Each structure stands twice: as structure tokens, then as C-alpha cells.
Amino acid sequence: MRPGRIENENRSDSLETKHQLHAKQVVQSLDFSKYDGIVCVSGDGILVEWVVNGLLQSQDWDTAIKMPLGVVPAGTGNGMAKSLLDSVGHPCTVPNAVLAIIRGRNRKLGVAIITQGEFRFFSGLVADIDIESEKYI
């Protein structure tokens, strides 16, 4: 697929979450080989559930963490989308987020993973820092 153009042979699946931790359940059962990327249309809450509770804790997490993830701001807190769009000089709007995804603009995000026995612990900068820190600027 060329950036900016959606070809007819492309396929997409959509999911509307029905309850708390539904996104986690879905992502942990995904066959990542069937997808080129994931777009999350939500606020930070579903994004954290999807990424932290889902992708990083899935059985195939080595593959899962390499999956491109698009973020479209559609929640109460949109700190991650705001951070990503600010980094390329664009305001945090739905059209700007969708265009960035279509154009294939990628940003790597760091997550520290500590494994102890059967448990994995994750750490990274939380997007809420953006939202909460604005109160004091």
C-alpha cells in the first residue's frame, strides 16, 4: 500500500469494547501474523489496557511489541496522541492523527520490561504526565 492511498485488497477488522478488560482479552487472542498494525480510537485508558495489559502480556509478546500502533484521540484523556502529534508539530485532532497513520509516520516508544519467574513488570512514561503537568504551566 502506498502512503495516502487505501487499496481495495486491504482488509480491516474493527472491535468495539463491551466491558472493562475486553480489549485485553481480544488482544491476547490475536494472531499477530494476520495484521500489519493496530489503530486504537480511544483515550489513554483503552490504549493502556490494549498495550500494557494486552500486547505486552500476550504469549507472543516479542512479536506483539513490534506491531505498529496508531492512536486516534477519542477519549477524555488523550495524552499519548497529543504527545505523538506534538512531536511532529501538529495539533491533537482526529484528522491529524488519521493522516499521520495513513502517511505511516512512526515513533518508537520505550518500555522497560523486567521478568521475574513467570511474571513480567512493565514501566514507561505515562501519557497522563502531559495532561496533569499542563495544570501547572
Active site residue 44: yes
Burial bucket for residue 133 (CB in 10 Å: 0-12, 13-18, 19+): exposed
Grid cell for residue 121: 513488570
Q: Report whether 35 contacts 67 (CB < 8 A).
A: yes
Which residue among 31, 36, 44, 60 is the active-site one?
Answer: 44
Name the DSSP letter for residue 136: G
Tell me the catalytic residues: 44
